[in-house]
Amino acid sequence: MEPIRIGALTLPHKAVFGPMAGFTDAPCRRLMAEHGAGFTVSEMVSSRALTYRDHKTLSLLRPATKGAPYGVQLFGEVPEIMGQAAAMIEGEDFDFLDINMGCPAPKIVSGGAGSKLMLHPELCGEIVAQVKAHTSRPVTVKMRKGWDDEHVTAVECAKACQQAGAALITVHARTRAQMYIPGIDLDIIRAVKQAVDIPVIGNGDIQSPGDALTMLRQTGCDGVMIARAALGDPWLFERVNAAIEGLPEPPAPNLQARMNALRRQVEEMVDLKGEYTAMPQARAQAIHYMKGLKGAAALRRAACSLTYLSDLDSLIDTVFTAQRKLTD
C-alpha cells in the first residue's frame, strides 16, 4: 500500500485530522497525532489578519508536539493578500500550507472566502499560484463539492488548483448549501480523483472504520479526513488505521484512559492560553468525552459549567461516581 506523499512529505497513515475552528488548537492536534492521525491542520487563519500582524491570529499558528506533519490553513479571497500572508509565516514551524476553499460559515463566505471560492475556479487557481510563489512548503487545498446543486464545481476547481501547483486536495463531499446536513456524495470524490494526478483525500461523515473503508473503496481516494467524530475519541484514528492497514482492531480505551486524555488536553490548553481563555473552550472538548457514558446528558450539562481547572477534576470524579452507581 503506497503511502500518501505531499511534496517531499510522506504521511505515516492514511487517516488525517481535519481543521475545525474553535477546536483544533495545539493540544487537540497533539492528541490526535499521538493516536495516529496522518497529519493535523491548524484552525483556519485569516490571511488579512496575518498581514495586520494580529496577535490573536498569530497565536493560532502554534505547532503541536511533533509526531505527524502539521499544516497551517489560510483563508482569504484576494490572491495577493494570500501570497503576502504565506510569506509572513515562512519562518513559523509547520510542514505544509493548506488553503481553505470549503468553510460554509456565513461570516466567511460573505467576504468571498471559504466555499464561496467554489463559484470561481479560475480564482482558486490564482490563489494557489500566489501562495505557492511565496512559500517553500507544499501547498494543499480543502474544498467542497461546490456551492449548491447548480454549481458543482469541485472538478474544475481541483484541476485549476493542480495546474497552479497544489500538492494535495481534500474534498468535503457536500455543497455549501448543504452545510453539514447528513448525507454525502461519494461520486464527487471519485470524480475529482479521476480528474487530477495529485493525492486526493475524502472528507465527510467518517465516524467508523467501516465508513473509511467504504469511502476508500467507492471513490479510489488516497486517504480519509476525520474531524468532529474524533473529538473526545482520538482512538478512532487507531481503529481506522488498523482497518485500512489490515491489522487487528485495537482494544477500546477504558474509562481511566479517556479521563486521563481529557485531563491532559485541558491542562495543556490552560498552560497555553491561561485559565480564563482556555476553560470556556474546554467545555466543548469535555462534552465530547461524555459520549457513550451512562448519564451522559447530566454529565454534559456539568461540562458546560467548567470555569476553573479544578472544576474539571470535580467533573471527572463525578464521571467515575456515576459509572459506578449505574453499574452497581
Range of the domain at 287: 255-327
* Residue 299 forms part of a structural domain: yes
Looking at the fold, whether 179 and 274 belong to one and the same domain comes out as no
Q: Are residues 119 and 160 in the same domain?
A: yes
What pLDDT was estimated at residue 65?
65
Exposure string of 209-231, with b = 16+ CB inside 10 Å and e = fewer, is: bebbebbbeebebbbbbbbebbb
Is the CB of residue 274 less than 8 Å from the CB of residue 246?
no
Q: Is residue 239 included in any domain, yes or no?
A: yes
Same domain for 317 and 227: no
At 291, list the grid cell: 459520549
Query: In this predicted structure, what is the pLDDT of residue 56?
Result: 79
Give the residues across from 46 on adjacent strands.
75
| Active-site residue set | 103
pLDDT of residue 54: 79
Give residue 80's pLDDT: 98
Residue at a domain's end among 244, 267, 302: 244
pLDDT for the residue 53: 83
Q: How many residues does the chain have?
A: 328
Same domain for 237 and 276, yes or no, is no
Shared domain check, 194 and 303 = no
For residues 104 and 93, give the distance between their C-alpha atoms in angstroms, rounded to a whole number.
28
Q: How far apart are CA 164 and CA 153, in angstroms?
A: 17
Q: Are residues 34 and 113 in the same domain?
A: yes
User: DSSP assignment of 197-227, as one string?
Assistant: SS-EEEES---SHHHHHHHHHHH--SEEEE-
Counting as low any pLDDT under 50, the low residues of the chain are none
Asked if residue 177 is part of any domain, the answer here is yes
Domain assignment of residue 250, yes or no: no
H helix and E strand count, the chain: 14, 11
Burial of 66 (0-12, 13-18, 19+ CB in 10 A): exposed
State how far the Cα of 133 lies from the Cα of 126, in Å rounded to an integer: 11
**Residue 189 and residue 291 in one domain:** no
Residue 229 falls within a domain, yes or no?
Answer: yes
Whether residues 235 and 263 fall in one domain: no
Residue 321 placed within a domain: yes
Query: Is 249 a domain residue?
Result: no
Q: Which pLDDT belongs to residue 125? A: 98
Question: 65 — phi, psi (to 5°)?
Answer: -55, 135
How far from chain centre, in Å, is Cα 206?
12
Q: Is 110 helix (H, G, I), strand (E, B) or coil?
A: coil
Q: Looking at the structure, do residues 228 and 281 belong to the same domain, yes or no?
A: no
Residues 211 and 263 in one domain: no
The string over 13-37, giving b where at least 16 C-beta atoms fall within 10 Å of a residue's C-beta and e elsewhere, is bbbbbbbbbebbbbbbbbbbbbbbb
User: Using CA atoms, how far apart are residues 38 and 35, in angstroms rounded to an integer?
Assistant: 9
CB 35 within 8 A of CB 67: no
> CA-CA distance, 242 to 238, in Å (whole number)?
6
**226 near 194, Cβ under 8 Å?**
no
Supply 161's cell numbers.
488548483
Query: 133 and 239 share a domain?
Result: yes
Which of 223, 244, 265 lies at the terminal end of a domain, its last residue?
A: 244
Residue 204: which CATH number?
Answer: 3.20.20.70
Looking at the structure, do residues 39 and 131 belong to the same domain, yes or no? yes
Q: What is the pLDDT of residue 77?
A: 97
Q: How many domains does the chain have?
A: 2
